[in-house]
Structure 1
Amino acid sequence: MENIPSEQKPIDNAGGDATQNGPLRAPAHTLSSNEIVTALQTDIENGLTASQAKQNMEKYGPNKLKEIPPPSFLSILVRNTLNAMTLVLIAAMAVSFGTQDFISGGVIAALIVINVGVGTINEYQAEKTVAALEAIGAPTANVIRRGADGGAGNISTIKTDEVVPGDILLIKIGDIVPADCRILEGQLAGLECDEALLTGESLPSVKTEEALDDPVCPVGDRTCMVYSGSQAAKGRAKVVCVATGMNTELGKISAALSQKASNNRIGFAATWHKIKAFLGVVDTTPLQIKLNKLAYVILFFACIVAVIVVASTGFKNVPLSIATYAVAAAVSLLPASLPAVIALSLSTAAKELAKNHALVRRMDAIETLAAVTDVCSDKTGTITLGKMVTRRVWVPAALEAGKLGVDTEFGTDLDEGQYFTVETGSDPFYPQGEVLADNKDVEQVPTQATSDTDDERTLANKGGKVLDLHNLAKPMHELTLCAALCSSASIQRVKPGDNDNSSNSDDDDDKVTDGWEGHGDATEVALQVFAHKLGYGKPHLTKTGSAPDAVASSPEEDEDISYSRQPGKYELLVEHAFDSSIKRMSMAYTYTPPAESGEEPYILVLMKGAFERVFDRCTSLLAEGGRPLEKSDADRVQAHYDSLASDGLRVLSMCSKRLPLDQTQAVREMQRDDLETDMSFLGLVGIYDPPRTESAVAVQDCHNAAIIPRMLTGDHIGTAIAIAQQVGILPKDYAKSAVMTGPQFDALSEDEIDKLDPLPCVVARCSPETKVRMVDALHRRNRLCVMTGDGVNDAPALSRSDVGVAMGKNGSDVAKQSAEIVLSDDNFATIIVAIRKGRGIFFNLSKFMLYLMSGNIAQIVLMLIGLAFIDEQGISTFPISPVAILWINTLCAGPPALALGLEKTPADAMDKKPSDYNTIFTFWWIFDLFAYGFLLGAIAIANFAIVMWGYFDGYLGIDCNEDLREDTCNHTGRARGSVFASFLIVLMVHAFVCKHPTQSLLRMNLGENKVLLWSVVILGVSVFPVVYIPVINDKVFLLFPVKWEWGLVFASALFYLVVSEVYKLARRMGQSRKDQSAHKDSDMVGEDGAAEAKQIAAREKTYKQSA
């Protein structure tokens, strides 16, 4: 067949293998492997020739994704420079230098450097940290290739990027699949692949050989394919490569990340959108848009103020002092410290979040977190541990009076039987925990396998009794023996030095979390851990000699988890690996009992697998003390199977039988089907990927904050529902519309999705496109969403969401590059910590913006009214000099503002609705802004007037704006000194007032924020050198030392404090009346109203405490 150029696509493979680069007539998973081998002109046994491989490399390119260049220092610098407030400051700096006001220009330049430098350095450091996170990849691949002249093929190891379509690859356990490949028929040996990064499924995908009929089935259902980036968890196979590089499923996702949202704007609309994007009023964070708009509004009014100042001269012979004053007046309207304070506040918050395992790559993402309405998350490894554990066990036995002892009499019971619950901590591999017998009044004591912190009271509160390892009933003994021995998996303690946490103290949680690791199939590891918890670890059952003292996978090690069990030796005789076609596996052991026991040796045959494939091989119930199976038994056991499955568990069946030792040779030669017959059914075991212990608390915090958590997973719908209910995403009585599958959601048009009320909280079996559509649907509803995830399948939605949060430990590089925040502990609950911090930053932003901008209004009030003070030459005499205004506006206002940005997050931050964080510029915030601003300005003007006309004769002097002389400008200099001192001291009091919009200053803990306290103290003391040091006072600040005016200064501070307290009291009383009115209305509503009334009562209590 003639090769079709790579850019040509023979068919539209939408939903199928649209990314294959070979000349195939249909998606690879719908074709037989022979058809693919023929189309790709390769050979199953010998592979491609060297010349074919070279030709395909030239045709399709290297097998690697398009590299995303990391952001350069320059690009980060430009991004931090091109924001509205910084551009306005640059303009003010240019005007200052143009009017020869070098002091003002220099101070503004310093502020610009601080603002841009802090943001740039922090973001660059975050990018370097992310780049340093360990990458996931497959550096080499095993291929079969022939020489240039043909001949027999040889197995060779090549770099992953040298793999080309048509290559025959060998995949074995532990390998990372280097490209998208089709499994060759007749070349499969129990291969299972972990595709969680692509599909989100917890369990490995069991691979098959047969072609599939559905061309558009999801990636997770294409069992005859293996995909780039997945890992072989079990078995082996020979495969043929059908897609490489950007044409793989992994490449398809990577390409989706580079695609921008569709832009239907054309002509003038498109140009106008680009202009607005450049100005920063679209396509950025909500707060940044508001701040940019604010900057342009302030710039507009600053220009008006400058014109007004110049207009006071009639625009004729404008003195340089008036021009300087005009610039100072304009600059006084600018919150010059605001960009620097925001940058430093976000930087400090980012460092604090880094200590809490959240690495912030984009500083502005922190403030966006405050107003998020939805958290869309993957399940596997994010909400769950990403590891399988045994959760429930059922044995078909009626135990005498509920007793579980080894000598307990029992009979078969298929109607109820005996259920057990297996407790698991934060580490799924830790072989210590509780196995509880459900709903039984059993007089048992805690086993030594339980945690030291578990006492009789805590166990009683868990609704069951812990099994006694020294006294275990036969039915549970037989099932646990099967779980331990019918397995090739193992667990082991990580030796000191194998990880960074090995030297931690006993109080360090990481010691337990990182202390154990599992090897082998995830399901078998879960069963092995379960068996270890009951003292049935496989290494101990197969150990020769006396009973081991410790439960650990390595028989040579004695660990601190100790209890004894009966000695004995099981030696492997026959193993039949798991076969996906019959869905079961079996192993046979010879058992040699201790010499003193008097027992006879025997052969023990064990089998586990899918219920329907195991139960039909059984002829009796229980190995000892059971009975033959009856026709009705299957339905009765099926009911228990369905019960476990409905809880989202993957259910396995266990069975066994004993054979005489003299049949050892016969068993070795026996056909598998003959060996796996006449078995005794032992019971059911339910395993699952458990939710993290913190996830339920984090989800509850979401509900408390009126944030909707949503689970979007590639896993099966039953499992998704069960986990969602466990962590609280779904209630037990959820509405049908709350759960959908990916294909169901994708089948809806945008209009149909927009009509859903509400959007589903759980979407199972979803593709990457499904997640992106969900994010877009939320955006159309004007909702802000966080997307958390760790897999490649999360990357497109991470990129499109308002804040993308990737997992740092197990996350793919594609996901990390797409996210604004990377969680170094892979913990879903950390996102709530980040949201809480984001809300704290929001509160602090409102505080220091109120402080800064009310000070700006006060300054402009002072300077504009000051134009009315005309001297003998008809020139306005400044009540305060331009340098003094700039000093107050930058160096004095900045430190308290920064200290307000470091305030602790309020305790009720997560009890408010996201809408409360939509904007800082609420009615009351704006009212406070002007109320405090005019009050501060009026006090300053009053000080000038009292000194000039109340104490002195009102003579303003001559040229006091240019040269402050003792003989002509003494009165003006004293009045300016009074204005400067009073304005700065009252502004320091104002910093404490801004700590809370309604709480009395008398009830605040002023020493709680030590940075604020010391900044106020130091700046207050800084008044004295400015006022009293010669040259600095009269030549730079154009003022004279004050004397009796200090009484006026402190009287001004006291007056401001009294007025502000009265104002806050009025606000509290008004809010209390409003809440009381709402409280009366709530009596007429149902339960929702009652809940609201409780909230109002709590608020009333808060207001009373504030008063």
Structure 2
Amino acid sequence: MEEKKWYHIEADDAIRHFQTNKKTGLTKEEAEGRLEKYGTNELPEGEKEPKWKKFIRHFHDVLIYILLIAAMITIFLGHYLDTTIILLVVIINATIGYIQESKAEKALDGIKKLLSSKANVVRDGKRMEIQAKDVVPGDIVVLSPGDKIPADIRLFRADNLKAEESPLTGESVPVEKGVAVLDEDTVLGDRTNMVFSGTTIASGSGLGVVISTGSYTEIGKINTSLAEVEEIKTPLLQQTAKFGKMISVFILVATVLLFIFGYFIHDYATAELLLAVIGMAVAAIPEGLPAILSIILALGVQTMARNKAIVRNLPSVETLGAVSVICSDKTGTLTKNEMTVTSVILPDRELKVTGVGYAPYGEIQDGEEEIDIKTDDTLEDFLTCVKTVNEASLEQTEDGEWVTAGEPTESCLLTLAEKANQPIPRLEGMATIPFDSSYKYMASLVEKDDGEKVIYVKGAPDRLFDMVGLKAGSEERSVWEEVMSKHAKMGRRIIGAAMKKVPQEQTNVNHEDVASGMTLLGLAGIIDPPREEAIYAVEECKKAGVTVKMITGDHKDTAVAIGKEMGIGDENSGHVQAIEGRDLDDMTEEEFHAAAKSCDIFARTSPENKLQLVQALQEEGHICAMTGDGVNDAPALKRADIGVAMGIKGTEVSKDASEMVLVDDNFKTIVNAVREGRRVYDNLKKTILFILPTNGTESFIIFASILFGAMMPLTPVQILWINMVTAVTISLAIAFEKIEQGTMERPPREPDEKLLSGYYIFRIAFVSLIAGGGILTMNADLIQSGYDQAVVNTVTLQALVMVQLFHLFNCRNERNFVFNKDFFSNKIAFLVSALLILIQLGVTYIPFMNTALGTVPIDAEYWVFPIVIGFAVFVIVEIEKWITRKVVKLKV
């Protein structure tokens, strides 16, 4: 598509260039031809990874490689059943990971479908609604309030047209549009004769010709820059990669040394020794761990989805638990994105307005008393004025929701009028002066119910002060300006209202009519109020040691006022440290890093500032979450450890660049996700604390058997069975453990915190030794008593499973006594325990299971050994926990 500066040429020239017509638009045939030529009006999604490739990716793990090597050796030895079981375990792990990843992607695709947009175009002389993806260059587009703009458009008609361009420029105030030719060097944010794809019409109406679609739009150009941004590997992936390498090196070294020892010292047959060494390698590998980690993360994904946060990939769930800084957008995330009148300033007093948002629930109060409109003519005139001189609409839907159309500041004035204790009329204008930014007011000539004619004016207070004769520098004007300044520092926008009685014969209104002689009715203080739940969420962040930084395109004073209400900044002094984007641009790298750490609010920021801020915080060692909704936010979202896109007002580009999408655009949802992330991470650690002692016990038993030249108490297939059955049954119970008390009152963990702390390594070794020692003692006694090897193997297998079953309850709480008030809170723990017992009875007494696993039926008295060993381990570990907690007072 040809690259031209369309804002620098006449609209008629653009229309001629695209061979279209202002009134009739394109014909159906022309539109179809151009759709074939230019392609659909969609941003390229990039080449999707094939399903088979996604599946294969789940085999890319060093521990899985060791299992595959073990499978190849068993084929060489002719133990095909062992090979089958090992490969089956590997495939099950990959399948679980693939399924859970696909579920997260489908959830996100569902949101995309809900948010698909349409466009109103003129074709064959008729106005029609089509899918936005079918818009082509040369289409004539009809623009109305609330419309999402489908492509880049050169305007040729603009009637009081304003566009909300924050998705592209970050500017929260709607931009007024016109049709005049602009200078060649006009920057994107000042191209007022154009509207851009992905932005929205705030008010007014217009017509324009499409000049760019798809990847050729301004949004499409930014999309291509995403490829240059480096993605950050999550803490969990970094930790598990290190953990896997560490275990794999240990396993390889230990198995080689053990093979050499067994071959030269005990003179084992090569095949028998290889099988034993493979058994130890398989025993040491926590092959069930990837599966259970995937399941725990997937359950976290599902919990977050129920709580209105869609997570795109599993490891991001855990990363949320490590977040130490949240950089949040203001409008719609920390605030309601619903302008609200909070005060009315009349000439003789100031009134308070209760209730927030567009729903007209609240009162107009003087002190604590509701005002009776019948007894207050000034207030009645003020409300009539702001309701009459107003182009917005406010309606209640069938399901009880209040919806608006038009300028947010006008919509909230309608809500104000509805809060009066008596109905306020919306008078029909006999003549009007529409709003224009050049004179900053609008006026309407109306006839009141009593037949009196008046002109109502609504607009910028400074213009109204001139109309009512308040001269600059006068004492009365200074008083009003002082009041305005006070409200501006509180983050409020000020709208004024005035009126003038006119003769009965007057039928028109012009600028001269309102230039003098007006009576000031009052001012309205308007603010986008903070979400109440977001205020509590910021408080919760402070307790959790998570810093909240506000990033906004709004002015500094407004941002600071909202920040104070939110509780952002110093908790003791209430001081909010704020800085503007232009100041950041002039800083050195060291100064920028210092500002990133010390400042709470970043106002009037550019997309580059956001990206630099994320990078600076990461370089200072923070795990950073960044919210955003526009295309300009995408590079920063992609760079952040957790990019959080808005599901309602967010662009598709911002969602694609993010790890998480908020369905409700609410800051509280992010904090809920952080809480869930911490719970998930704690449960991941508990799972490791539960699973690894099994591997340690098995490895210890086989190592000791080879060391002392004894018979192998377990076969590789039996080891794999124990590892998998405990991983997919009882260890699953830990995923359902509730968040522990005090979890959101501790600081975020350090990014470089090891997955296994010193205490964890001690606990794993301790449990492995006491369990392994007990089982080896039992084995020696059974062998000396002359029991068959198959019986010994069966009892050993059951003993290991029973140890894990009892140890599950040790691990449900890392440090505290297991029998507490939450003992019965996790019903899944009891269900899976019962399931495991049934499975193990099947392993012992069902013939085909005997054949597959090399077990034999045993008499009832033999079950005493496994149960006693399991219970003994449980009691010893609880004693160790008490000593660690009360005597040593060691932190985990």
Q: TM-score, normalised by structure 2?
A: 0.89
Per-residue Cα deviation, 1:647-686 (whole angstroms, up to 9, x for no partner):
11211011112234x22xx232x43322453111011112
Shift of 1:36: 8.6
Q: Which of structures 1 and 2 has the bigger CA Rg? A: 1
Per-residue Cα deviation, 1:15-54 (whole angstroms, up to 9, x for no partner):
xxxxxx21x5xxx77x585899799799998999999999
- State whether residues 121 and 140 of structure 2, in contact with CA within 8 Å, keep that contact through their aligned partners in structure 1: no
Shift of 1:171: 4.4
Q: Whole-Å Cα distance in 2 between the matches of residues 206 and 820 of structure 1?
A: 34
Greater shift in the superposed pair: 297-306 or 136-145: 136-145
Structure 2 equivalent of residue 907 of structure 1: 741
Distance 1:38 1:902, change over 3 A: closer
Distance 1:289 1:159, change over 3 A: closer
- State whether residues 194 and 232 of structure 1, in contact with CA within 8 Å, keep that contact through their aligned partners in structure 2: yes
Q: What amino acid maps onto 2:286 in structure 1?
A: P
Structure 2 equivalent of residue 367 of structure 1: 318
Q: Secondary structure at the match of 1:109?
A: helix
Distance 1:70 1:698, change over 3 A: farther
Q: Secondary structure at the match of 2:550?
A: strand
Structure 2 equivalent of residue 127 of structure 1: 105
Structure 2 equivalent of residue 286 of structure 1: 235
Alignment equivalent of 2:763, drawn from 906, 928, 934: 928
Structure 1 equivalent of residue 353 of structure 2: 421
Q: What amino acid maps onto 1:859 in structure 2?
A: E
Q: Whole-Å Cα distance in 2 between the matches of residues 121 and 1013 of structure 1?
A: 26
Alignment equivalent of 1:193, drawn from 148, 163, 181: 163
Distance 1:890 1:67, change over 3 A: closer
Whether 1:612 aligns to 2:462 is yes
Structure 2 equivalent of residue 338 of structure 1: 289
Shift of 1:805: 2.1
Structure 1 equivalent of residue 90 of structure 2: 112
Shift of 1:474: 2.7
Alignment equivalent of 1:1055, drawn from 866, 872, 876: 872
Structure 2 equivalent of residue 177 of structure 1: 149
- State whether residues 334 and 534 of structure 2, in contact with CA within 8 Å, keep that contact through their aligned partners in structure 1: yes
Q: What amino acid maps onto 2:869 in structure 1?
A: S
Q: Whole-Å Cα distance in 1 between the matches of residues 48 and 852 of structure 2?
A: 51
Structure 1 equivalent of residue 660 of structure 2: 821
Q: Secondary structure at the match of 1:667?
A: coil
Q: Whole-Å Cα distance in 2 between the matches of residues 695 and 732 of structure 1?
A: 16
**For 1:202-601, what aligned pairs fall within 5 Å after superposition?**
202-207=172-177, 219-237=188-206, 244-261=213-230, 284-311=233-260, 312-314=262-264, 318=269, 320-397=271-348, 417-424=349-356, 428-437=357-366, 440=367, 465-469=368-372, 472-495=375-398, 502=399, 515-535=401-421, 541=425, 570-593=427-450, 601=451
Shift of 1:981: 3.6
Q: Whole-Å Cα distance in 1 between the matches of residues 90 and 848 of structure 2?
A: 28
Number of residues of Structure 1 aligned to a counterpart in Structure 2: 886
- State whether residues 203 and 522 of structure 1, in contact with CA within 8 Å, keep that contact through their aligned partners in structure 2: no
Q: Secondary structure at the match of 1:483?
A: helix
Q: Whole-Å Cα distance in 1 between the matches of residues 79 and 243 of structure 2?
A: 26
- State whether residues 190 and 580 of structure 1, in contact with CA within 8 Å, keep that contact through their aligned partners in structure 2: no
Structure 1 equivalent of residue 807 of structure 2: 990
Q: What amino acid maps onto 1:584 in structure 2?
A: Y
Structure 1 equivalent of residue 507 of structure 2: 667
- State whether residues 202 and 388 of structure 1, in contact with CA within 8 Å, keep that contact through their aligned partners in structure 2: no
Per-residue Cα deviation, 1:258-288 (whole angstroms, up to 9, x for no partner):
3233xxxxxxxxxxxxxxxxxxxx9532112
Q: Whole-Å Cα distance in 1 between the matches of residues 447 and 207 of structure 2?
A: 34
Distance 1:100 1:1009, change over 3 A: farther
Q: TM-score, normalised by structure 1?
A: 0.73
Shift of 1:640: 0.8
Q: Whole-Å Cα distance in 2 between the matches of residues 848 and 667 of structure 1?
A: 81
Distance 1:288 1:45, change over 3 A: closer
Shift of 1:582: 0.3
- State whether residues 137 and 210 of structure 2, in contact with CA within 8 Å, keep that contact through their aligned partners in structure 1: yes
Q: Secondary structure at the match of 2:331?
A: coil
Distance 1:1013 1:797, change over 3 A: same
Q: Whole-Å Cα distance in 1 between the matches of residues 556 and 191 of structure 2?
A: 18
Specify every segment of 5 or more residues in structure 1 that has no aligned partner in the other structure, as ranges: 7-20, 146-153, 262-281, 398-416, 441-464, 496-501, 503-511, 543-569, 594-600, 621-627, 871-875, 953-968, 1076-1102
Q: What amino acid maps onto 1:329 in structure 2?
A: M
Distance 1:738 1:299, change over 3 A: same
Whether 1:880 aligns to 2:698 is no
Distance 1:53 1:992, change over 3 A: closer
Specify every segment of 5 or more residues in structure 2 that has no aligned partner in the other structure, as ranges: none
Structure 2 equivalent of residue 686 of structure 1: 525
Provide the identity percentage: 28
Q: Whole-Å Cα distance in 2 between the matches of residues 196 and 784 of structure 1?
A: 26
Q: What amino acid maps onto 2:826 in structure 1?
A: N
Q: Whole-Å Cα distance in 2 between the matches of residues 377 and 1035 of structure 1?
A: 56
Q: Whole-Å Cα distance in 2 between the matches of residues 655 and 429 of structure 1?
A: 24
Shift of 1:100: 3.2
- State whether residues 142 and 158 of structure 1, in contact with CA within 8 Å, keep that contact through their aligned partners in structure 2: no
Q: What amino acid maps onto 1:395 in structure 2?
A: L
Q: What amino acid maps onto 1:107 in structure 2?
A: I
Q: Secondary structure at the match of 2:410?
A: helix
Per-residue Cα deviation, 1:597-644 (whole angstroms, up to 9, x for no partner):
xxxx20122111111111111148xxxxxxx99932111101111111
- State whether residues 104 and 886 of structure 1, in contact with CA within 8 Å, keep that contact through their aligned partners in structure 2: no
- State whether residues 178 and 229 of structure 1, in contact with CA within 8 Å, keep that contact through their aligned partners in structure 2: yes
Distance 1:768 1:137, change over 3 A: farther
**For 1:802-951, what aligned pairs fall within 5 Å after superposition?**
802-870=641-709, 876-915=710-749, 918-948=753-783
Per-residue Cα deviation, 1:879-903 (whole angstroms, up to 9, x for no partner):
3343432322221354111111221
Q: Whole-Å Cα distance in 2 between the matches of residues 768 and 1024 of structure 1?
A: 62
Q: Whole-Å Cα distance in 2 between the matches of residues 319 and 44 of structure 1?
A: 87
Distance 1:1071 1:207, change over 3 A: farther
Per-residue Cα deviation, 1:401-440 (whole angstroms, up to 9, x for no partner):
xxxxxxxxxxxxxxxx32323321xxx2312223333xx3
- State whether residues 192 and 206 of structure 1, in contact with CA within 8 Å, keep that contact through their aligned partners in structure 2: yes
Distance 1:893 1:475, change over 3 A: same
Greater shift in the superposed pair: 797-806 or 192-201: 192-201
- State whether residues 120 and 128 of structure 2, in contact with CA within 8 Å, keep that contact through their aligned partners in structure 1: no
Alignment equivalent of 1:999, drawn from 816, 829, 837: 816
- State whether residues 943 and 978 of structure 1, in contact with CA within 8 Å, keep that contact through their aligned partners in structure 2: no
Q: Whole-Å Cα distance in 1 between the matches of residues 43 and 792 of structure 2?
A: 71
Q: Whole-Å Cα distance in 2 between the matches of residues 1026 and 44 of structure 1?
A: 79
Q: Whole-Å Cα distance in 1 between the matches of residues 34 and 573 of structure 2?
A: 53
Shift of 1:216: 7.7
Distance 1:940 1:1029, change over 3 A: same
Q: What amino acid maps onto 2:56 in structure 1?
A: V
Q: Whole-Å Cα distance in 1 between the matches of residues 813 and 130 of structure 2?
A: 65
Q: Whole-Å Cα distance in 2 between the matches of residues 55 and 319 of structure 1?
A: 74
Per-residue Cα deviation, 1:736-788 (whole angstroms, up to 9, x for no partner):
99322223323434444234362533222222222222222222223211222
Q: What amino acid maps onto 2:389 in structure 1?
A: C
- State whether residues 163 and 177 of structure 2, in contact with CA within 8 Å, keep that contact through their aligned partners in structure 1: yes
Q: What amino acid maps onto 2:248 in structure 1?
A: L
Alignment equivalent of 2:452, drawn from 602, 605, 620: 602
Q: Which has the higher helix share?
A: 2
Greater shift in the superposed pair: 245-254 or 1014-1023: 1014-1023
Shift of 1:1061: 2.5
